[in-house]
Amino acid sequence: MVAIIDYGVGNLFSLVSSFRAIGAEAVITADPKVIADADRIILPGVGAFEDAAKKLRDSGMADIVKAEVAKGKPLMGICLGMQLLFDKSYEYGEFEGLGLIKGEVRPIAEVIPADYKIPHIGWNALDFHGRSCKLFKYINEGDHVYFVHSFYAANCNEAMVATAEYGADLTAAVADKNVYGCQFHPEKSGEVGMKILKAFCELEA
Amino acid sequence: MITKRIIPCLDVRNGRVVKGVNFEGLNDVSSPVELADYYSKCGADELVFYDITASSDGRQIFTDILCETAKKVFIPLTVGGGINTVADFDRVLKCGADKVSVNSGAIRNPGLIEEAAKLYGDQCVVISADVKRVDGVFRVFAKGGRENTGMEAIEWIKRCVDNGAGEVVLNSIDTDGVKGGFDLEMLDAVCNAVSVPVIASGGAGCIDDFTTLFKTLPKVDAGLAASIFHFGEVSIKDLKTELKANGIPVRL
């Protein structure tokens, strides 16, 4: 069973539907017992980092997620949920993240050419840079996934497993032991996205 | 590299797709759920559902249809039509919509875009503008293109983007339905005025119209059309294959 962490941000309808579509049981929950019983955890998120990080802490979900990860349970952060995995973010200030993956979140404006539009929105191709990731076992380099973001994970070269080219190589996915993160939205990335979710559901819990 | 998006638009009234369609292999050609699934499988990059229902009963049917679609179709979904308040945003976002497009609602209440962008983020708010030349000036029309608001279009669109609209759908009334190609002059004016993605709408009649659009105006991010897809005049797969052959980045 997949526990999708509910901490009061974003709309989780598509996410829960996408897991059900691939035959996985998924629940939206903030119940520590349900999260402890789940085989794997999804940390979703849209909106602003500061607000989301605060809600994650204030709801107690931050400690619960960290404790489950420490037991070896697979965790995947999606979009802002991925950014929350890092040490800190420079989105309109400087804020602490969960510190599960080394690196920081910075504005894409710092690295892309001035005539590129912000946010980076639309379908972009994944580059693997010769790295492999269990999440990508059913997809190929060059497959397209759907992005919507204005900030990106920087200084995370050790954990980086895919980038997307948008005037610069923007971190598209990260992995460190049982912690995974996708900047793009697998639940909105059609068949390719479903294959990534399927691979996540097959990770050993 | 980011790809150009191809977006079919479905007009929905009382739970049915309004314009007729003739696809083989579809049991129910006017079911929005089936048609959305079909387009997704054909390679559509995004879908727009446009609610043209007038009654509140129809509204409920529309949101039910939206939920059914979002359970089955996993590409971005934009919803427009009848969006007048943030409660309307909430209603469709809860059913799986990713973006909400506002048109007459923003004209009536210019604070709507700012309010919605603060609550849901700029990426969620799309300004859809129906624009027509009147005595050589681009004017914004309301009520499905029937009423001249008198507002100059480029200024209006700029103001909407400044207030938080994260994307622009520009529908040229002058080229809409003519099938003679997109309104390149109008699109160019909008692309030069805003820095958010611009979606071209109105005028596509054949594959070449899309090729010309993206070749002439590389700043345009997406092409939207309805009847040419619904009537099978242009298949999305053929369209994208042809675009790729012309060096235009697409998701195939």
Q: Are B190 and B167 in contact (CB under 8 A)?
A: no
- Across the A:B interface, residue pairs with CB atoms under 8 Å apart total 75
Highest averaged pLDDT of the listed ranges A38-42, B29-33, B114-118, B225-229: A38-42
Q: Do A144 and B221 touch (CB under 8 A)?
A: no
A65-69, A112-116, B18-22: least confidently modelled range: B18-22
Q: How far is CA B160 from CA A120, B61, B107, B112, B156, in A?
A: 19, 30, 10, 10, 6
Q: Is pLDDT of B191 > 90?
A: yes
pLDDT at B119: 86
Q: Domain-by-domain residue ranges, chain A?
A: 2-201
Does the CA dihedral B162-B158-B112-B48 come out positive or negative?
A: negative
pLDDT at B120: 87
pLDDT at B21: 53
Tell me the average pLDDT across B178-189: 96
> Which of B1, B93, B197 minimises the CB distance to A124?
B1
Tell me the average pLDDT across A3-22: 90
Q: Is pLDDT of B19 > 70?
A: no
Active site residue A25: no
Put simply, whether A118 touches B (Cβ < 8 Å) is yes
Tell me the average pLDDT across A27-31: 94
Tell me the average pLDDT across A52-62: 93
Selected catalytic residue, list A79, A133, A156, A201? A79
CA–CA gap between residue A76 and residue A182 (Å, rounded): 7
A113-122, B39-48, B53-62: least confidently modelled range: B53-62
Higher pLDDT, B144 or B202: B202
Q: A2-201, what's its fold? A: Rossmann fold (3.40.50)
How near does any CA of chain A get to the CA of B148, in Å?
Answer: 31
pLDDT at A202: 97
pLDDT at A46: 81
Confidence class for position B26, pLDDT limits 50, 70, 90? low
Put simply, whether A119 touches B (Cβ < 8 Å) is yes
pLDDT at A53: 93
For residue B27 the two structure tokens come to 């049991």
Q: Domain-by-domain residue ranges, chain B?
A: 5-245
Tell me the average pLDDT across A71-89: 97
Q: Do A190 and B40 touch (CB under 8 A)?
A: yes
Confidence class for position B138, pLDDT limits 50, 70, 90? very high
Best mutation target among B38, B74, B167, B217 (most A Cβ atoms within 10 Å) is: B74
Residues 6+ apart with CB under 8 A from B75: A146, A188, A189, A190, B40, B44, B45, B46, B47
Q: Is pLDDT of B22 > 80?
A: no
Residues 6+ apart with CB under 8 A from A123: A144, A145, A146, A147, A189, B2, B3, B5, B45, B251
Residues 6+ apart with CB under 8 A from A18: A186, A187, A193, A194, A197, B74
Q: Identity (one letter) of the amino acid at A19? A: F
pLDDT at A172: 98
Q: Is pLDDT of A178 > 90?
A: yes
Percent of chain A with pLDDT over 70: 100
Confidence class for position A4, pLDDT limits 50, 70, 90? very high
Q: Is pLDDT of B114 > 90?
A: yes
**ipTM beyond cut 0.90:** yes
Q: Is pLDDT of A119 > 80?
A: yes
Residue of A nearest to B90 (CA): A11
Instruction: Give the residue among B16, B88, B3 at the shortest CA–CA distance from B46.
Output: B3
pLDDT at B230: 86
pLDDT at B18: 81
Q: Is pLDDT of A201 > 70?
A: yes
- Per CB-CB distance under 8 Å, the chain B contacts of A189 are 74-75
Tell me the average pLDDT across B154-170: 97
From chain A residues 176-205, the ones with a CB under 8 A of any chain B CB are 187-190, 193-194
Q: Are A181 and A174 in contact (CB under 8 A)?
A: yes
Q: Is pLDDT of A74 > 80?
A: yes
What residues in chain B have their Cβ under 8 A from chain A's Cβ atoms? Answer: 1-3, 5, 40, 45, 67, 70-72, 74-76, 93-96, 98, 121-123, 166-167, 195-197, 221-222, 251
pTM (2 d.p.): 0.94
Domain B5-245: assigned CATH number: 3.20.20.70
pLDDT digits (tens, 9 = 90+) for B49-88: 999 886 777 788 999 999 999 999 999 999 999 999 999 9
CA–CA gap between residue A49 and residue A152 (Å, rounded): 12
pLDDT at B23: 56
A44 prior amide bond cis, ω within 30: no
Put simply, whether A146 touches B (Cβ < 8 Å) is yes
Higher pLDDT, A38 or B232: A38
pLDDT at B28: 67
CA–CA gap between residue A45 and residue A53 (Å, rounded): 10
